[in-house]
A and B are shown apart, each in its own frame.
Chain A
Amino acid sequence: MKEILKALINVFLKMPQGFVVTLKHVFKKPVTLDYPREKKPMAPRYRGRHYLERYEDGTERCVCCGLCAAACPADAIYMEPEETPNGERKAKVYEINLLRCIFCGFCEEACPEEAIFLGQEYEFSDFNRDSFIWRKEDMLVPHPRKDNPFKRIIRRVRRVYGVPDAAR
């Protein structure tokens, strides 16, 4: 008798508590997104695809110092420097293997020229493995990032001069 009573309590009192919860959710707005059509805005610090920046005058900021490659825990970055006709240093080859990349952002942290940063994009799928090896040209594209916190002190000649007072 006691058993039957207990079972009845369960069926009519306790179990419906759960049903109420699920029923309640029927009337709530869904929290999911209709993904390919709707996209979630990523946080400002999101570490997505790589970009290489240029100076205002269009020259590449990257001098191929190798610090990003040295910092990369996945050894995804390969670079070869070369000398420009006027004797400056720039990257001849700059490749990131996105299949190896773990998007840890160490390259951005290591870059002493503020040349590389990770943007917001995260959709990389392709049918071909080779297309995951990104060359310099793939990354030296216009990018949506507006404000580099260090922009005011990055000037082409600051390497030699230090920071001009005007830029402080």
Chain B
Amino acid sequence: MPEAKTVTINMGPQHPSTHGVLRVECELDGETVVKARPVIGYLHTGIEKTMESKLYYKAIPCTDRMDYLAPMSNNLGFVLAVEKLMEIEVPEKVKWARVCLTELTRVASHLVWLGTHALDIGAMSMLLYTFRERELIIDIYEACAGQRMMSTYFRIGGLSDDLPRDFDKKVRNIIKVIPERMKDYEALLTNNQIFINRTKGVAVISAEDAINWSLSGPMLRGSGVKHDLRKANPYSGYENFDFEIATGTNGDAYDRYLLRLKEIRQSLRIAQQALDGMPEGPYRAHVPGVVLPPKEDVLHKMESMIFHFKIITEGFKSPRGQVYQAIEAPKGELGFFISSDGTNRPNRVRVRPPSFCNLAALPALCEGRLFADVVVAIGSIDIVLGEVDR
């Protein structure tokens, strides 16, 4: 019997640092990873197919459940895709509110990433601090939509309800508080030699490789590619906001950490602008037959009652055609492709999830490196298995 040169080890699917139920098949030669193969599908819920079986408006809650750390971004992607299909122009206020909320979502998502990534590497207290800050944003979700995680706040053509009265105050509080707290994070990590040793030069990917692997979001920008859909292909009124695209240089885990901190700051800057410039106006577009009429009208106007009844029971007929709408989600390019056959349900929904595409580069990040770096690599990609498997 020939002597085995390598050992194959399964990391996951139940492993604390695989962020859910990811399984990585690692072939090890001693401490060195010869081969790493991500195995996915343990959280497959058939979200795309479920969406195809539902009326357009009933598919929105499905999107919440993909990247459950950034529900508003998912909502926005789907809602924008349907609005593009239906050619709906939403009121300015809706656009600004959506921008404000999705930027807060980015902050929340990055905070969770920061906490869990630091925890993976051994910095326990980061998790407690970032979750404390995230709670402020979750409170905003709750005040707006009534749910702390699965917000389902955005609707086709607007929002489910107007922004709450104390929205402005609460968000300004967040904008004030978080940068201060971020000083603590940097004190804990940025100059921490252990953290630096664990992340610097680890999970490196060059700009060229990043593009070739079709990476997006911080994974791409961390390698120095200045690409952000908010600038490259503005949606929901992003062209009105002044912010910078943060980039890294080395394309290693440490750069991506710095980059995400920068993004949090930029996001808060955008949220600030959104609050300052929040226009007055309706929270829903007036599109008869697609957007529900105001509830008060439904209660005493026959026409509104009929439209309400028909939209709820039958939905609306979409025009034949195909749309693709991508947004810059916290984790990268989140795209929704909808193919419509002219009925009231999408014929095909396909999601381009950033986690899934970014995860594909995992072998490139850790092959030839130490086994302990696999954890860092997975962490720095920032995956959510709900989105990977859908």
* Chain A contact residues, CB within 8 Å of chain B: 7, 10, 14-15, 17-18, 20-22, 24-25, 31, 42-47, 66-67, 70-71, 73-74, 102-106, 109-110, 112, 114, 118, 149-150, 153-154, 158, 162-163
Quick check: B299 and A158 within 8 Å, CB to CB?
yes
Q: 13 A-B Cβ contacts within 8 A?
A: A20-B187, A21-B125, A22-B188, A43-B164, A44-B143, A45-B144, A47-B146, A74-B61, A103-B150, A109-B160, A112-B309, A149-B296, A153-B300
How far apart sit A42 and B189, CA to CA, in the bound complex (Å)?
A: 34
* Chain B contact residues, CB within 8 Å of chain A: 54, 57-62, 125, 129, 132, 135, 139, 142-147, 150, 152, 160-161, 164, 184, 187-189, 191-193, 292, 295-296, 298-300, 305, 308-309, 312-313
Q: Which residue of B lies closest to A118 (CB)?
A: B146
Question: Which of these, A45, A67, A150, contacts B299 with CB under 8 Å?
Answer: A150
Chain B binding surface SS class: helix
Quick check: B193 and A15 within 8 Å, CB to CB?
yes
A133: min CB distance to chain B, Å: 21
Question: Which of these, B58, B60, B188, B309, contacts A18 with CB under 8 Å?
Answer: B188
How far apart sit A14 and B169, CA to CA, in the bound complex (Å)?
A: 36
Quick check: B295 and A150 within 8 Å, CB to CB?
yes
How far apart sit A158 and B305, CA to CA, in the bound complex (Å)?
A: 13
A15: min CB distance to chain B, Å: 7
User: A10 — which chain B residues lie within 8 A by C-beta?
Assistant: 193
Quick check: A45 and B161 within 8 Å, CB to CB?
yes
How far apart sit A17 and B309, CA to CA, in the bound complex (Å)?
A: 61
How far apart sit A20 and B150, CA to CA, in the bound complex (Å)?
A: 36
Q: 9 additional contacts, CB 8 Å, given A25-B125, A109-B292, A158-B299? A: A15-B193, A17-B188, A18-B187, A47-B146, A71-B58, A73-B61, A73-B62, A104-B152, A112-B299
User: A73 — which chain B residues lie within 8 A by C-beta?
Assistant: 54, 58-62
Question: Which of these, B61, B150, B192, B299, contacts A154 with CB under 8 Å?
Answer: B299
Quick check: B188 and A21 within 8 Å, CB to CB?
yes
User: A74 — which chain B residues lie within 8 A by C-beta?
Assistant: 61
Cβ-closest 3 pairs across A and B: A45-B146, A47-B146, A73-B58
User: B144 — which chain A residues lie within 8 A by C-beta?
Assistant: 45
Q: Which residue of A lies closest to B181 (CB)?
A: A21
B38: min CB distance to chain A, Å: 29
Quick check: B296 and A150 within 8 Å, CB to CB?
yes
Quick check: A14 and B193 within 8 Å, CB to CB?
yes
User: B160 — which chain A residues lie within 8 A by C-beta?
Assistant: 105, 109
How far apart sit A66 and B139, CA to CA, in the bound complex (Å)?
A: 32
Q: Which residue of A lies closest to B194 (CB)?
A: A15
Q: Which residue of B lies closest to A103 (CB)?
A: B147
Quick check: A43 and B139 within 8 Å, CB to CB?
yes
User: A31 — which chain B residues lie within 8 A by C-beta?
Assistant: 132, 135
